[in-house]
Amino acid sequence: MSLTAIAPYAAAWVGVTGLILLVSRDWRVSLSALGAQYVGVFLLISLVWPIEFAVIKLVSGWISAAVLGMGLVDQSRSWVDELGRWRSGTIFRIFIAGFVAILAFVLIPIVGQWILRASDAQIFGAILLMGLGVFHLGLTVQPIRIVLGLLTLLSGFEIIYSTMETSLLLNGMLALVTLGLALTGSYLNAASGAEANP
């Protein structure tokens, strides 16, 4: 099976992982979803880049998830379930994700006119991730969840940007920014935790 054939599934996959990040109550599930999300991002970037270069995104994404995970192992109490006891919060977030998916679908031809090299699956996956990332940012005040939202947003952007900018150094530096964000998230989590447990 060629990479082009699996591209729509990869786009759907990143959407599902983005949704899990949005509705997850457990940090382990969230970080697993983040790791899985980078697999989809890697597949979508592989459409335009050689696999040996696209794998940089996968590795940096997984390291980011690991860094955040290591921070949360010690400070798991800093992860707060924001959804509450009732299902309304979850339903609201699923509804939002559906809305973002429709928006991403509608925007495919418009963005496709700007960025000629991007395939429909890449545009759909990228806008979906960016949209879910932005909504994630708007629905939380927890440092670690904000970093998850930012990483989701940047993942989406990296899919689109890889089709536009072929400079490996630039994309490599974007991967470094991903790692830096994860380190900052882990630090913020530890800083708050140190206050809670002096």
Partner 1 sequence: MSSPFIWIVLPGMVALILVFLHRYQVISSILAITLSLTLAGLAWMLEIGEVITIGSWAFIIQEQMTILGRSFVISNLVLPQIAIFYLSFTFWIVGALVIPKPPFFTSLSLASVAVLISALSVQPILFAALLLEVAVLIFVLMLTPMGQSVNRGTLRFLTYQTLGLPFILLAGWFLSGIELQAGNTQEIVRAAVFLGLGFSFHLGIFPLHSWIPMLTETAHPYVTSFVITTLLSIGILFPVGFMQRYPSLNENINLLEIIRLIGVLMVLVGGIWATFQRNLGRVLGFAMIVEIGRTFLAISIPDGDKLLFGLLFPRVISFGVWALCLTKLRAHVEDLKFHTVQGYGRRYWIAGIGIVAANFSLVGIPILAGFPIYSILWERLAVNGFWISLAAIAGSAGLMVGGIRALAVLVMGPDELELEEEQEESFFSNMLILMGVSVLFLMGLFPQWFLPALTSISANFGAPAP
Q: From CA 103, how far away is CA 21, in angstroms rounded?
A: 19
Site for partner 1 in 63-122 (CB under 8 A): 114
Both tokens assigned to 184: 């900052």
Q: From CA 145, how far away is CA 124, in angstroms rounded?
A: 23
Whole-number Cα distances in Å, 73 to 60, 76, 125, 163: 20, 6, 30, 36
154, 178 Cβ separation under 8 angstroms? yes
Q: Which of 12, 39, 94, 146 binds partner 1 (CB under 8 A)?
A: 146
54 sits near partner 1 (criterion: CB under 8 A): no
Q: Which is nearer to partner 1, 91 or 191 (CB)?
A: 191
Q: From CA 139, how far away is CA 154, in angstroms rounded?
A: 17
Q: Which of 16, 108, 139, 190 binds partner 1 (CB under 8 A)?
A: 190
CB of 173 to partner 1, least distance (A): 5
Using CB under 8 A as the criterion, which residues of the chain lie in contact with partner 1 when the complex forms? 114, 130, 134, 137, 141, 143, 146, 149-150, 153-154, 157, 161, 164-165, 167, 169-170, 173-174, 176-177, 180-181, 183-184, 187-188, 190-192, 194-195, 198
